[in-house]
Amino acid sequence: MRPRLVACVAALAIAAATCNSQPAMRPPVPASGGELSPAPGGSVRSFDLTAAPAKVELKPGLVVSAWAYNGVVPGPVLRVFDGDLVRVTLRNHLSVGTTIHWHGLAVPNGQDGVAGVTQDPVPPGASATYSFVARGAGTFWYHSHQRGSYQLDRGLYGVLIVEPRGKAVGVDHVVVYDEWPIGLEMPSPPPASDPAMSAYVTVSVNGRSGDAIAPIRFASGQTVRLRLLNAGYLVHFVRVEDTAVTVVAFDGHEVRGGRPTTDVLPLGPGERIDVELAANGQATWLALQDPFPPSGDALLAVAPEGAPVPAFTPSGIRPVLDIFTYGAQASASPWPKGGGVPTRTFTLTLSEISRTRAALPSPMPGMEMGDVSYQINGAAFPDTPVLEVSLGDLVTIKFVNAGRQDHPMHLHGHAFQVLERDGMAVKGLLVKDTIVVRPGSSITVGFLADNPGWWMIHCHQLHHAAGGMMLLLRYQGSLRLAQLGGPYQSTPD
């Protein structure tokens, strides 16, 4: 008995833990390696995000039992300047553990918020602080990465904007798309009957749907920047009716000299596209040119202040913008100018394997919820290969989509340059952190390994991620900070 008594006394001294016959649960692995000071000229920006259940009225008659940051979906827009130290206190008022991941930001590994890889989830009732320097202006976002497919679907996401330092803040608005599944509604049932609508009942814009979507207003003469984000699980095609726009950023990375276009903007899960509307005083509408029927719920008016919003008249089907040839000129690239000789090359073949003979009918394309295994090189996470790199490597990854669905592939901790599509060199400079790989297509990306740690690579159709389409990139010599499972049921997807 004696050693145990000593241990109990020690534990009491440290944490005032109760000593009983149960072994004490170890504390959760916290987020670690937080940065302490801003870059020169930057300041400290502090935010509080409380994750809690919330009733969200998507439109009259459709109230969902959501999970939200600070009671709103999307969560509050976090706006900082390049070089600022971002300090976010997460308070968990949910009944389950949660984390926050900073999508598109190259934070220290321990700040990446990935349950089972970089930390354990923050338990119910607990809080945690993330602290990192925002380097590089752009549109980024944050979301849970503990049971992500479930927690994002309920609303745990928001936009993080990094403004360039020393430039006037322009007029901008976020436009966040998401789909909502049934099962979250309050008593009023979803509108009946169409089987294609059985899983997901509506698309929302900034957490509202249909007539409840608030128009974006601008003063005439203003140039309006729209920061589009797809927080959902389907590729959406955004059409700006009868108005040319100029793309100024893909995934937060600046594009210079893009030509005005009326093409439809393809916005995959996790992707961002920033566009500028020329101020011509005209009202316009953003519509989705999607095969998914409730896309009519996602009409957003953009109109001058005080003017009536004109009736929506669709302008007809238009071609989809080819982001690979847009003439993009990124301001900085994670790949050497004029080419580089890779020191590590990987090929990842993406596929879907139905585990049951008769797969369930798909409620909508890309949303098969049946017993499907989503695989990389023939294996499902956590049995997928671990990609090993060393600090300073020039890494290429070729994604080959051998399946029948879109796979928006996302790399944590780094931006990449898109080098090839279907074996052909991509001419423009396209820098991103998420890229949609279409069925039958291949895409090669390249980046400099400059951020040590263990990083996720996964499909951002998070049902696919949960079904196995994830793997880890590991720097030699880096310790893995957290493990899957355990007492906090750490699971990234």
Backbone angles phi, psi at 463, to 5 degrees: -65, -35
- Asked if residues 194 and 141 have their Cβ atoms less than 8 Å apart, the reply is no
- Asked if residues 404 and 377 have their Cβ atoms less than 8 Å apart, the reply is no
Nearer to Cu ion, 154 or 407 (CB): 407
Q: Quick one: what does residue 414 bind among ligand C2O, Cu ion, none, with the CB cut-off 5 to 8 Å set by partner type?
A: none
- Asked if residues 438 and 445 have their Cβ atoms less than 8 Å apart, the reply is no
Omega prior to 382 cis, within 30 of 0: yes
Can you say how many angstroms the Cα of residue 86 is from the centroid of all Cα atoms in its chain?
A: 18
Residue 145 touches Cu ion, criterion: CB under 5 A: no
Residue 270 touches ligand C2O, criterion: CB under 6 A: yes
What is the closest distance, in whole angstroms, from the C-beta atom of residue 268 to Cu ion in the complex?
Answer: 10
Dihedral sign, Cα of residue 170, residue 320, residue 103, residue 368: positive
Residue 143 touches ligand C2O, criterion: CB under 6 A: yes
Paired strand residues for 216:
302
Nearer to ligand C2O, 47 or 233 (CB): 233
Q: Quick one: what does residue 101 bind among Cu ion, ligand C2O, none, with the CB cut-off 5 to 8 Å set by partner type?
A: ligand C2O
Using CA atoms, how far apart are residues 444 and 175, in angstroms rounded to an integer?
29
Q: Quick one: what does residue 252 bind among Cu ion, ligand C2O, none, with the CB cut-off 5 to 8 Å set by partner type?
A: none
Q: Quick one: what does residue 398 bind among ligand C2O, Cu ion, none, with the CB cut-off 5 to 8 Å set by partner type?
A: none
Q: Which of 348, 459, 466, 482 binds Cu ion (CB under 5 A)?
A: 459
Instruction: Indicate the helix (H) or strand (E) that contains 14.
Output: helix 2-15
Q: How many residues make contact with Cu ion (CB under 5 A)?
A: 4
Between 98 and 127, how does the x/- string for binding to ligand C2O read (CB under 6 A)? ---x-x------------------------
Using CA atoms, how far apart are residues 144 and 102, in angstroms rounded to an integer?
9
Q: Quick one: what does residue 270 bind among ligand C2O, Cu ion, none, with the CB cut-off 5 to 8 Å set by partner type?
A: ligand C2O
What is the closest distance, in whole angstroms, from the C-beta atom of residue 57 to ligand C2O in the complex?
Answer: 26
Using CA atoms, how far apart are residues 457 and 128, in angstroms rounded to an integer?
25
What is the closest distance, in whole angstroms, from the C-beta atom of residue 395 to Cu ion in the complex?
Answer: 21
Q: Which of 119, 209, 461, 491 binds Cu ion (CB under 5 A)?
A: 461
What is the closest distance, in whole angstroms, from the C-beta atom of residue 200 to ligand C2O in the complex?
Answer: 19
What is the closest distance, in whole angstroms, from the C-beta atom of residue 483 to Cu ion in the complex?
Answer: 25
What is the closest distance, in whole angstroms, from the C-beta atom of residue 470 to ligand C2O in the complex?
Answer: 8
Q: Give the footprint of Cu ion on residues 42-61 (CB under 5 A).
A: none
What is the closest distance, in whole angstroms, from the C-beta atom of residue 144 to Cu ion in the complex?
Answer: 19
CA 261-268-354 angle, 5° bins: 145
Using CA atoms, how far apart are residues 241 and 314, in angstroms rounded to an integer?
7
Can you say how many angstroms the Cα of residue 418 is from the centroid of all Cα atoms in its chain?
A: 18
- Asked if residues 384 and 349 have their Cβ atoms less than 8 Å apart, the reply is no
Q: Quick one: what does residue 143 bind among ligand C2O, Cu ion, none, with the CB cut-off 5 to 8 Å set by partner type?
A: ligand C2O
Nearer to Cu ion, 156 or 459 (CB): 459
Using CA atoms, how far apart are residues 118 and 100, in angstroms rounded to an integer?
11
Q: Give the footprint of Cu ion on residues 370-429 (CB under 5 A).
A: 407
Using CA atoms, how far apart are residues 265 and 247, in angstroms rounded to an integer?
9
Backbone angles phi, psi at 4, to 5 degrees: -65, -40
Using CA atoms, how far apart are residues 148 and 112, in angstroms rounded to an integer?
14
Residue 464 touches Cu ion, criterion: CB under 5 A: yes
What is the closest distance, in whole angstroms, from the C-beta atom of residue 114 to ligand C2O in the complex?
Answer: 7
Between 41 and 80, how does the x/- string for binding to ligand C2O read (CB under 6 A)? ----------------------------------------
Residue in the shown chain whose Cβ atom is closest to ligand C2O: 103
Backbone angles phi, psi at 7, to 5 degrees: -60, -40
Nearer to ligand C2O, 62 or 162 (CB): 162
Q: How many residues make contact with ligand C2O (CB under 6 A)?
A: 10
What is the closest distance, in whole angstroms, from the C-beta atom of residue 75 to ligand C2O in the complex?
Answer: 14
Q: Quick one: what does residue 459 bind among Cu ion, ligand C2O, none, with the CB cut-off 5 to 8 Å set by partner type?
A: Cu ion
Residue 147 touches ligand C2O, criterion: CB under 6 A: no
Q: How many Cα atoms within 13 Å fall on the side-chain side of residue 284?
A: 22
3-state secondary structure of 462: helix
Q: Give the footprint of ligand C2O on residues 429-488 (CB under 6 A).
A: 456, 458, 460
Tokens 């008995």, residue?
Answer: 1
Using CA atoms, how far apart are residues 268 and 283, in angstroms rounded to an integer?
26
What is the closest distance, in whole angstroms, from the C-beta atom of residue 314 to Cu ion in the complex?
Answer: 29
Nearer to Cu ion, 119 or 434 (CB): 434
Long-range (24+ apart) CB contacts under 8 A made by 322-325 are 322/263, 323/247, 323/250, 323/266, 323/430, 324/418, 324/421, 324/426, 324/428, 324/430, 325/427, 325/428
Nearer to Cu ion, 239 or 464 (CB): 464
Q: Quick one: what does residue 227 bind among Cu ion, ligand C2O, none, with the CB cut-off 5 to 8 Å set by partner type?
A: none
Tokens 């820098």, residue?
Answer: 431
- Asked if residues 330 and 431 have their Cβ atoms less than 8 Å apart, the reply is yes
Nearer to Cu ion, 119 or 442 (CB): 442
Q: Residues in the site for Cu ion, rule: CB under 5 A?
A: 407, 459, 461, 464
| Residues of the shown chain interacting with ligand C2O in the complex, contacts defined by CB under 6 A | 101, 103, 143, 145, 270, 410, 412, 456, 458, 460
